[in-house]
Amino acid sequence: MKIDELIAQAQREAEPSAEAVEALWSRLRAGPGPEPEPEPEPEPEPETPPAAPTDTAVRGPWIAAALVVLGLGGATAWWLRQRAPAPSPAPSTSATTAKPEPAPTLEPVEMQLVRGIESVDEAPPADRDAELDATKPERQTQRPSTPAPTDAPPPPPPSELELLQRARIALRDRDWSELDDLVQAHAQRFDPGMFATEFAAMRTMADCAQSTPERARTIGRAHLERAPGIFDARISELCGLDE
């Protein structure tokens, strides 16, 4: 089997379907997602009793019940006024009448708005987008679970020491991709920096781990000749110089 044939066929198979393209565009058009609305709550309840349920069979008993409650409330108020000068609880009657009414159903447009807000909630927060920006290879490992407020200040960039600590963890976990990122971030922000030797050694180790044995030995030897240091043993091991 030829590689080029395989690649050409895979390219065709990897194309998105027309439906997927349109669906994705619809999502984008519906809203960008990254800036959640500050008020994700739906419309507030109307103050007056809503008239949404128009079914007279449902409304009739409620009206009767409301009239009964109003009558009882009025009688109670009159009785209380006779006994004491305290204010009557008449205002509660309006609340009582409003209570049994079912919540108004949302109009289709409102439902769309709510759905849009829900999809916005799932979108990445602003902080994370900053990490995703291709122009910033340096990346945070933490991913906030809830969208950050739009006016929240971005987290401070890690110090050189923090980068080194994270790099050591990546080295310990053999997370070469993470280590690559951290080394690049260090080079961009601190080059040469206080820990240039350490980061150079880590870069060598990451390169060795991701290279063929022959190439790794070349990289390792070059590093040991150029900048021997406290990582020599690890470099020798990872680059296959012990063999």
Query: From the CB of 96, what's the least distance to another protein, in Å?
Result: 41
Q: Which is nearer to another protein, 128 or 223 (CB)?
A: 128
Q: Which is nearer to another protein, 69 or 114 (CB)?
A: 114
Q: Which is nearer to another protein, 49 or 221 (CB)?
A: 221
Residues at the interface with another protein (CB under 8 A): 1, 3, 6-7, 9-11, 13-16, 20-21, 23-25, 27-35, 123-124, 128-129, 131-135, 137, 139, 143, 176-178, 180, 184, 187-188, 209-212, 215
Query: From the CB of 192, what's the least distance to another protein, in Å?
Result: 16
Query: From the CB of 6, what's the least distance to another protein, in Å?
Result: 5
Query: From the CB of 55, what's the least distance to another protein, in Å?
Result: 37
Query: From the CB of 34, what's the least distance to another protein, in Å?
Result: 5
Q: SS3 for the chain, per residue?
A: CCHHHHHHHHHHHHCCCHHHHHHHHHHHHHCCCCCCCCCCCCCCCCCCCCCCCCCHHHHHHHHHHHHHHHHHHHHHHHHHHHHCCCCCCCHHHHHHHHCCCCCCCCCHHHHHHHHHHHHHHHCCCHHHHHHHCCCCCCCCCCCCCCCCCCCCCCCCCCCHHHHHHHHHHHHHCCCHHHHHHHHHHHHHHHCCCCCHHHHHHHHHHHHHHCCCHHHHHHHHHHHHHHCCCCCHHHHHHHCCCCC
Q: Which is nearer to another protein, 105 or 177 (CB)?
A: 177
Q: Which is nearer to another protein, 50 or 116 (CB)?
A: 116
